[in-house]
Amino acid sequence: MEAKKVFAHQTWHLYTANSVKSHSLRSGAAWDAAPEASAYAPSDLSYLAEESDWAPAAVRTYAARAAQARTEYHPLLENTYRNAQPVMVSDGSALYAAFVRANETTGKRYVALTKFDGTSWSAPAAVDASAILDDAPQLCTDAAGNLWLAYARTTQEPGDSLVAYAQHQNIVVGTVDKNTLAFTEQKVYQSDNYMRLPTLSCVNGTPVLAWVESAVTDEESVVNPAASTVYTAEYRGGAWLDARKAADAAGIGSICIGAQNGAPAAYTSDGKLYCGSQLLAENVTGRAVYGRLPGTTADSFIWNADGALHDEAGNTVPVEGLGRDFVIVGDSIYFNQSNGANANLAALHYDAVNDHWSAPILLIGDEQYLENLNAAELNGKTYALGMHTTVTITADDVDDTKDLVWTQILPVSDLKLSDVSFDADALVPGETLPVTFTVTNSGDHTVSSLTLTADGVSTAQDCQLLPGESGEFTVNITCPSEKQIVTFEVQEPGQDDYTPEDNTAACTVGSADAEVELALLQIGSRKFLQAVVVNRGLEPASGSVLFTGPDGQTLAERTFQNLTYGGTVIAEYEPDSFAALYGEDVTATVRLQQDEPNMLNNTDSVPVLLTSTEILSAQRGGSSVTAEIACMHDSARALCAFYDATGRLLRTVIQPLESGKINSLTFQIDSNAAQAKLFVLDAKNAPAAPARSIPLNS
């Protein structure tokens, strides 16, 4: 039987509890929890009619990210059983893999074994020809070199009953002949409970087996057990010992065999990692492993929480995009890098000499999914095995196709060129122009030499770029006499770059580049704003200068055409009065018709400050004369004289002025006056500003 989740067709048949946790790419209750029993239906294995022969000639391109990609998946079985759950181990002389196959006609599921001798994988051999519903294979090798296999076995045909299935499930463990792959059963652990999640590992040279049991009362108790118990058993003195209870818990998601204060196993439950009754961690994603983080000195339980790997000693390794599966091989961490839309094979390498971690290295990026990740070393080479999943979304359904694939993980050369820049002030046609850019080593090894190409001319440069590091480099080009696009490229000598599309960058040299400088000037009685525009680029520039006030309001606009390299144009703005602008900033902005990469120098501002004494405005307003006078003199006064039509002085009115301010004044008009004249006098009665005449008869 199987159930579908909202995101994609994940085929968890009636023995789903053995593997449901490892099949979810995302974390959270909606993904980790098994569906309710009512959600299950009999499995439809008709898709297996399209299953390929063993190790077919490659007809699919998995490593489509780049033509130069060196690591690529090779299919062992295409369109195969979706819940194959492959596992892989190395004994130093060969790789061994176990996985579940299914028969489309009979519906039987059985564990199969295959061996890789460094050249090819052997044809799969069935472990039990009479298998009904085998599941969840596990492999390990012990200190004596023996190859062990454990799996869950159903002893009676359950039909479509979850209860019947759970009541007839036991755990089998035995040895595998490394030459013939024949399986010899050593021990069968049986119980009246539902036995599931077998886990097999070798700790300190000794094989240890663990599994979970829970009571069977109804179908829901099979899918979502309310209470569970972890059991372990060890192989000692040539025999498997009786099972021992290790821990009680509610829902158990996965088991990890290790050694912590005498406890032989840790387990995950509700996002928490326990060892015995001790809580090791919270917010755990996926399963834990037992081993050693690169750069550390002690074995430990290792888990994924909050986007980083952690161990019991408190060591933390952040891993960007870390998915549910990870494997540690030597000084490397291989993992499913998830970006929300896919999950692909990636690696993180530790440089012990320099105590340095690389950035995540995407080994294969085909925008699909890799599940059930396994990785192991053989003869100095690292190999990976897993299920490559292609999800197809239609208007009516979401379906998936799964292939059992393997790959040899090959060295990765991956440089990235970015942040090309130059000093625009250094543009002199025909002269040397230094251009600076950043090179990032996204590969898996230290880069000691670069080939830098600028405008078709290559130069070699020594460097020391560790994996994940970036460095700044400079090349010299000859400055062109006109606008030109120059291409820059970086390459590691003798290497094919994994993503060559990011090895090059184009930079436009000589684009129009307007620089503006704004000033407030006063020449005699004339006061105005002057913007000086210079074209620092090689391309002729046309555009306008926009003068704006403190609130962004447009004050004036001046245009110019075809300003050549080094040319200057002057734009001026002289308002009728500066009264409204005193104490505020005025801005000049250059806007070009051409594309202008550098716009940092297109704007300049100046404050309009009181620098002199002047009459800003003077006019008749009804029965009075109103005026605004900027005063920068101490003890200055404003004198308003009224004259009749013949020019005879009728009377004068004097008002004091406050220094450092704009003074607003009102003078009552003499009823016989035809004209008024406004004077500003300093403390010695000398004129402090030009006088202003105000006609009164108009």
For the chain, the domains span 53-80+319-410, 423-500, 514-607, 614-695
Structure tokens at 592: 């070009």
Residue 341: which pLDDT band, with cuts at 50, 70 and 90?
low
* Residues 6+ positions from 130 with CB-CB distance below 8 Å: none
Question: How many Cβ atoms from other residues are within 10 Å of residue 269's Cβ?
Answer: 18
Residue 682 pLDDT exceeds 60: yes
Mean pLDDT of 594-621: 89
| Residues of the chain above pLDDT 90, percent | 66
Compute the distance between CA of residue 139 and CA of residue 86 in angstroms, rounded to an integer.
10
514-607 adopts what CATH topology?
Answer: Immunoglobulin-like (2.60.40)
Give the pLDDT score at 63: 46
Cα dist. 626→85, 240, 618, 620 in Å? Answer: 93, 110, 6, 6
Structure tokens at 169: 């499930």
Residue 364: which pLDDT band, with cuts at 50, 70 and 90?
confident
Mean pLDDT of 418-443: 92
Residue 6: which pLDDT band, with cuts at 50, 70 and 90?
very low
Give the pLDDT score at 5: 52
In terms of average pLDDT, the best of 32-36, 38-42, 270-274 is: 270-274
* Residues 544-588 pLDDT 10s: 999 999 999 999 999 999 999 999 999 999 998 787 888 889 999
Contact between 373 and 386 (Cβ < 8 Å) = yes
Element holding 163 (H helix, E strand): helix 162-167
- pTM across the whole model: 0.72
Superfamily holding 614-695: Immunoglobulins (2.60.40.10)
Residue 68: which pLDDT band, with cuts at 50, 70 and 90?
very low
Residue 232 pLDDT exceeds 70: yes
Residue 172 pLDDT exceeds 50: yes
Contact between 150 and 172 (Cβ < 8 Å) = yes
Which of 57-61, 273-277, 295-299, 672-676 has the least mean pLDDT?
57-61
Residue 51 pLDDT exceeds 80: yes
Mean pLDDT of 622-628: 94
| Residues of the chain above pLDDT 70, percent | 90
Compute the distance between CA of residue 175 and CA of residue 202 in angstroms, rounded to an integer.
13
Contact between 319 and 335 (Cβ < 8 Å) = yes
- The most distant pair of C-alpha atoms in the chain lies apart, rounded to whole Å, by 136
Mean pLDDT of 32-44: 67
* Per-chain mean pLDDT for the chain: 88
**Between 65 and 693, the higher pLDDT residue:** 693
Structure tokens at 673: 């006056």
Residue 16 pLDDT exceeds 50: no
Give the pLDDT score at 611: 76
- The shares of helix, strand and coil residues in the chain, as percent rounded to the nearest 5, are 5, 55, 40
In terms of average pLDDT, the best of 39-43, 84-88, 156-160, 480-484 is: 84-88
Mean pLDDT of 225-253: 92
Q: Are 514-607 and 614-695 equal in CATH topology?
A: yes
